[in-house]
Chains A and B, each alone.
Chain A
Amino acid sequence: SAVISQKPSRDICQRGTSLTIQCQVDSQVTMMFWYRQQPGQSLTLIATANQGSEATYESGFVIDKFPISRPNLTFSTLTVSNMSPEDSSIYLCSVDGSGANVLTFGAGSRLTVL
């Protein structure tokens, strides 16, 4: 399966600032997915990032708050903008590296917003 490197692994941020999370995959993949996992909760899909096109956002998530870049087939970034304490979560990147609809997850980025 694909190997995913995500950074930062954790960060403490001040209210009103923005943070960009990077996701690097060791193989070329068509789609990359960004999930949010709030403390003690399940995984919620934020958006799907395709290379060369705008990301597709799920209900409740908007581009102004979570802008995504996908400059090539192995890399993506998610920015959490104008952060508030409610944005404190783990953000996970995932890909289907097998081509069989099997998602592999990165280690996640744990954000704490003060």
Chain B
Amino acid sequence: GENVEQHPSTLSVQEGDSAVIKCTYSDSASNYFPWYKQELGKRPQLIIDIRSNVGEKKDQRIAVTLNKTAKHFSLHITETQPEDSAVYFCAASLTSGTYKYIFGTGTRLKVLA
């Protein structure tokens, strides 16, 4: 069935360094790829997304890249700050039909001050 693999499961970086989280999806029909940040005890919040008609999208310190051929997409956070510490989930979805999201297993990011 449809599957999204996410790596790494945990990631520790020094404040100011960059962090990269990678996801691979199985359904070639997927065309929408959001990233959610979930702080401890809070709801998942959308931080950035990308649709299949673009290869890269950037919003301040956060960027997402998509390689449809390889079915890979990645989250890049530059100049990390302690408040970036959270669990990050990638997801893959179709923009029509079922709206079903398949979530990755999550990455726990720790930014060390």
- A residues adjacent to B (C-beta < 8 A): 31, 33, 41-45, 48, 59, 92, 96, 100-108
Contacts and interface: CB of A to CB of B under 8 A. Distances in A.
B93 A101 contact: yes
A107 B99 contact: no
19 contacts: A33-B99, A41-B105, A41-B106, A42-B103, A42-B106, A43-B89, A45-B100, A45-B101, A48-B99, A92-B43, A96-B99, A100-B95, A101-B32, A101-B93, A101-B94, A102-B49, A103-B46, A103-B101, A107-B43
A41 B106 CA distance: 7
A42 B34 contact: no
Nearest to A110: B41
A45 B43 CA distance: 15
A105 to B, nearest CB: 4
A107 B43 CA distance: 5
A102 B46 CA distance: 8
Given A41-B106, A104-B46, 20 more contacts: A33-B99, A41-B105, A42-B103, A42-B104, A42-B105, A43-B101, A43-B103, A45-B101, A48-B99, A92-B43, A92-B44, A100-B95, A101-B93, A101-B99, A102-B49, A103-B99, A105-B43, A105-B45, A107-B42, A107-B43
A114 B13 CA distance: 38
Nearest to B1: A59
Contacts of B53: none
B43 A106 contact: yes
A22 B94 CA distance: 27
B98 interface: yes
A45 B44 CA distance: 14
